[in-house]
Amino acid sequence: MSAFKRKRGGRGPVDKKAKKAKIVADRGEAPRETEREEKNEITVPAPVSSGKWTNKERVLIFSSRGINFRTRHLMQDLRTMMPHSKADTKMDRKDKLFVVNEVCEIKNCNKCLFFEAKKKQDLYMWVSNSPHGPSAKFLVQNIHTLAELKMTGNCLKGSRPLLSFDPKFDKEPQYALLKELFIQTFSTPRYHPKSQPFVDHVFTFTIADNRIWFRNYQIIEEDASLVEIGPRFVLNLIKIFQGSFGGPTLYENPGFQSPNMHRREIRLAAAAKVREKQMVKEMQKMKRTDTKVDSVRDVTADVFLTPAEEKPVHIETEAPEPKVSKKKQKPFKRQRMQMARR
């Protein structure tokens, strides 16, 4: 007996026309006029699931080797929030970034979120439209995952999000390009098989301090207030390229400072503080020695000194004569006693 094979997203034949239900106002009296019947008719819309999945956006989310646990949890949170995403194994560090386009083609994905780890402490994120571009490279900072935050917000898994953007995204051309790239990447396609037909959370992209701040909030139905769910992270824009993972540079952030330079400045500042402390100690030591010398010397000792005439220097060329001793030899005590007896 052959197994029953169900088509993806397929259901029974659904009538696209809306159903019409007749409701009678008074059961005792039959409607006499056609106008009264039209007023009491209620139109029931067609079911939501009968729509067709036309937007085939698929996002590949993966990383390079050398990431830490926090980056891995962030990737898992993004895959959970984006039902139209796909995963892949970690890419080797020796491979060039153009290989990512081939991986996207194999996985049948036209968008990519690639996390690149360097020195096991710096995390870079690529948002790319594969294979033709454009692509943007960011430095990811201040990562807080869902398990770490433990916020009170919650949303249905697979529900479609609203995307909220800062008004600054429409004022500058580089932010307008990033806005369109974020819309195509983070928005869940309508009628996606893995998505739910509900909108109960918001992705917000805010520009502050020349950085893009990402937040995820739940929409509470009672009063339409927002409660944060997580995760949260900050994107520092580095460059925007015309192609996918390379090509001509469309925009370069002039205020960007690499993490290596930032750490170098911190080390130089710490070394300057140490040198300053050593100089202060040496100056204090020199002051102490100066005060000791001044206290030993008497300032009034030279008041009564009169200057004397300088004596001429006499140099003796001959050796001096030996001195003759004129001392008389005294007899010893015994001899003196013998002389006294005589």
Distance of CA 55 to the CA centre of its chain: 32
Question: Ramachandran region of residue 320, left (φ > 0), alpha (ψ -120 to 50) or beta?
Answer: beta
- Residue 128 belongs to a domain: yes
**Residue 38: predicted pLDDT:** 59
With a CB cutoff of 8 Å and minimum separation 6, the contacts of 41 are: 20, 21, 22, 23
**Residue 222: predicted pLDDT:** 75
**Residue 114: predicted pLDDT:** 96
Tell which residue, 223, 232, 178, 224, has the closest CA to residue 203.
Answer: 232
- Residue 145 belongs to a domain: yes
CA distance readout (Å), 332 to 30, 325, 327, 341, 342 = 174, 19, 15, 15, 16
Answer positive or negative: Cα dihedral of 7, 8, 12, 15.
negative
- Residue 306 belongs to a domain: no
Distance CA 19, CA 10 (A): 21
Residue 232 pLDDT class (50, 70, 90 cuts): very high
Distance CA 224, CA 156 (A): 16
With a CB cutoff of 8 Å and minimum separation 6, the contacts of 124 are: 115, 116, 117, 118, 137, 138, 139, 140, 238
Domain of residue 161: give its range. 59-262
pLDDT at 41 over 90: no
- Residue 220 belongs to a domain: yes
What is the arithmetic mean of pLDDT over 272-296? Answer: 85
- Residue 23 belongs to a domain: no
pLDDT at 45 over 60: no
* Mean model confidence pLDDT for the chain: 84
- Residue 30 belongs to a domain: no
The model's pLDDT over 57-116, given as tens digits with 9 standing for 90+, comes to: 999 999 999 999 999 999 999 999 999 999 999 998 888 888 999 999 999 999 999 999
- Residue 186 maps to which CATH number? 3.40.50.10480
pLDDT at 237 over 70: yes
What is the arithmetic mean of pLDDT over 31-41? Answer: 60
Distance of CA 52 to the CA centre of its chain: 40
Q: Considering just the CA atoms, what is the radius of gyration of the chain in Å?
A: 46
Number of domains making up the chain: 1
Residue 175 pLDDT class (50, 70, 90 cuts): very high
Residues in the chain: 342
pLDDT at 52 over 50: yes
Lowest mean pLDDT among 23-37, 279-293, 323-337: 23-37
Distance CA 189, CA 53 (A): 8
**Residue 19: predicted pLDDT:** 47
Tell which residue, 254, 103, 175, has the closest CA to residue 113.
Answer: 103
What is the arithmetic mean of pLDDT over 213-233? Answer: 91
- Residue 307 belongs to a domain: no
Q: What share of the chain is helix, strand, coil (3-state, %, to 5)?
A: 30, 30, 40
**Residue 49: predicted pLDDT:** 52
Instruction: Give the whole-number percent of the chain exceeding pLDDT 90.
Output: 53
**Residue 22: predicted pLDDT:** 46
CB 107 within 8 A of CB 59: no
**Residue 40: predicted pLDDT:** 66
- Residue 269 belongs to a domain: no
The model's pLDDT over 120-157, given as tens digits with 9 standing for 90+, comes to: 889 999 999 988 989 999 999 999 999 888 888 888 89
With a CB cutoff of 8 Å and minimum separation 6, the contacts of 213 are: 204, 205, 206, 207, 232, 234, 235
Determine if the pTM surpasses 0.85.
no
State the DSSP string of 261-314. HHHHHHHHHHHHHHHHHHHHHHHHHHHHHHHHHHHHS-GGGGSS--PPPPPPP-
